[in-house]
Structure 1
Amino acid sequence: MGFSGGSLAVFTALAPAGAVAFALTTMYLLVHRDTAAAVRDRMNHALIVPLAVAWAGFIASATHLGTPANALHAVEGIGRSPLSNEVAAVVAFLFAAGVYWLYTFKLTYSRRFANTLAVASVVACAAMVAMVALAYSVPTVPSWDTWHAPVNLGLAALVGGVSLGASIMRAFRPETGRWHACALKALPPLIVVLAGMMACHALFLTGISNNVASAADVVPSYVVSIVVFSALASTGWFMQRKSAKAAGLRACAVDVCGCVLVLSSVLVSRLPFYASYLSAGF
């Protein structure tokens, strides 16, 4: 499945989603600078959740390198290799986000410097999602070398990131009530657009072939993947929306389960992309 598709699917499902959720929560703190110090500290500490999700995706991606030593070769082509740019952008985000998160654990710290680190992490998030999305612009792989690839990955990052960000913000109501509500309202359109873009990619594959096979024949279950993605994502969103109107531990558990379903749906949306790997020739 092209460059160990399974591990890369996990990477592109979790790492960008974790980064977007981290950026979304951080942006709330940047905008609402009058948030009570105690709430601000708890929100900063809660950033370990999206950071851990991003790290889980990054670790999963390392499995397709064969041996850890190959990671050194991946950074040799920074500036000329999409893969190297991707690795550099991910490391830059994890570093910037990690430094910000750790800095906020100080008993007393400079709010101005913390805000600078927060802005740096948001910028690094945008760069990371962009570099990961563009990493598959490979002319020798016509089934991947299409505008559908970066758009689909960007939408997948938003679907997973908005869902995860909404779950984090739910824990801090009523402070984040408006942002939490906006995130849940934004999720259904994102799900619909991503499902539509997956369908566009599936249609695009019908015109791609080499001297051996057709790209569409390589992924005969693309339609099934779209249906499964839509079902999982919609169910997860519905669970998060229902739990938003309730309180208590049970409602929180429902929200978390809903978020897990959405993240699982994002993983499903990434699998057919890697399964569609078809080079220009032998």
Structure 2
Amino acid sequence: MEASLAEMPLALFTTFCAIGAGSFVSLAFVLSGCNCAGEQKGSLNRVALVPTAVVLLGFICAFFHLANPMHAIGVFAGIGSSPLSNELVVGCLFFVAALILCIVCLTNGTKCAVKKAMLAITAILGVVFAIFMGMAYMMPTIPSWNTIASPIQMLGYTFAGGAALAAVILAGRGREIAQEENRRQIRTVLIGASLLGLCLALGGLIAQFATVASLSNPMVSGLELANGSLACFIGCIVCLAVSVTCVVLSVTRFKNNKAIAYCALLFSFAGILLGRLMFYALQLSVGPVM
């Protein structure tokens, strides 16, 4: 586990970006039926700012992983052939879309339909970005990472973390979501996204754990790596389960639900971060079978 701590900047990068990207997905579905009238229009105008700031924080964390941040531009040299370069290109496209969405949402003269369309585009790019964040680690030289479980985990973290952040953004806005049909839509979307995220994350974690336990090289046994990261594995699952529970409680009681929503986000962040640290701790390079 000591080695995984050296990857903390990347762990924070994938954690913040997954939460931010996923919130665009949840909010896009929640606000798809919004008529942009009165209080709801104000809600839509503010909806892009927080997720974009969270994603930006993730990119800032990634720079601390570089020995020399001035060399960051060199990462783009491998576009098309390097999974890492492809990830960053898709990430930049997603972030540019998020910035444009912020500008569009803050422009009072922009039509509601345009805002919704841009929110949908950003949400789609957010899902693609999550998939590429997982695929960036699918390298033949590291068989413990080179599995479909990697992008599945990232998708799970994106949906679960995004639902938690969306719950925080929507929490306490009783007048804006006073209509029962709006409340039903929020409940359906956030609970559905949370449960889907938990299932994907859990499935990806178990699949990778089983894969690593069956591998070995002359230096280390995969089973030893799995046993060494068991605490993070359990902590990740527990924190995500608590986060989903808090999201459910938050969207079933719309009054005074801010504290519950913030608890959902806190446990979601902790669970995803533990999952990412576990992922890096399970790095096992190729080598002849023992």
**Cα shift at 1:92:** 1.0
Unaligned runs of 5+ in 1: none
**SS at 2:64 equivalent:** helix
Q: CA deviation at 1:147?
A: 1.5
Instruction: Find the aligned partners of 2:110 and 2:246 in 1 and give their Cα distance.
Output: 38
Partner Cα separation in structure 2 for residue 59 and residue 20 of structure 1: 18
What is the aligned partner in structure 2 of residue 276 from structure 1?
282
Partner of 1:7: 9
Q: CA RMSD in A?
A: 2.5
Whether 1:63 and 2:64 are equivalent positions in the alignment is: yes
- Please give the secondary structure, in 2, of the residue aligned with 1:227: helix
The percentage of counterpart residues that share the same residue type is 23
Deviation at 1:115, TM superposition (A): 4.0
Pairwise CA distance, 1:167:
2.9
Task: Answer yes or no: is 1:184 the counterpart of 2:188.
Answer: no
Offset, 1:51: 1.5
Match for residue 123 of structure 2? Answer: 122
Q: Tell me how far apart the structure 2 counterparts of residues 247 and 135 of structure 1 sit (CA, whole Å).
A: 39
Partner of 1:164: 165
2:145 corresponds to: 144
**Map of 1:68-79 to 2, 5 A cutoff?**
68-79=69-80
Q: How does 1:49-128 map to 2 (within 5 A)?
A: 49-128=50-129
Moved more, 235-244 or 70-79: 235-244
Task: Provide structure 2 residue ranges, at least 5 long, that are not aligned to the other structure.
Answer: none
SS at match of 2:210: helix
- Which 10-residue stretch deviates more, 141-150 or 166-175? 166-175
* d(CA) in 2 for partners of 1:169, 1:56: 21
2:235 aligned residue: 228
Deviations 1:40-95 (A, max 9, x none): 23233132122222122221122112221121011111122110111111111111
* Aligned twin of 2:178: 174
Please report the TM-score for the alignment, with normalisation by the length of structure 1: 0.88
| CA displacement, residues 167-214 of structure 1 (integer Å, 9 cap, x when unaligned) | 323434335412321212552454245224312211111222222112
Normalising by structure 2, we get a TM-score of 0.86
| Contact in 1 for aligned 2:127/2:155 (Cα 8 Å) | no
Whole-angstrom distance in 1 between the partners of 2:45 and 2:67: 36
Moved more, 63-72 or 103-112: 103-112
Flag the 1:205–1:254 CA change in 2: closer, same or farther, 3 A. Answer: same
Residues 186 and 15 (structure 1), Cα distance of their counterparts in 2 relative to 1, 3 Å cut: closer
Equivalent of 2:260, from 243, 247, 254? 254
Shift of residue 256, structure 1, vs aligned partner? 1.0
The CA deviation at 1:25 is 1.1
Counterpart in the other structure of 1:214: 221
Amino acid at match of 2:177: R
Instruction: Answer yes or no: is the 8 Å Cα contact 1:86–1:128 preserved in 2.
Output: yes
Aligned residues: 280
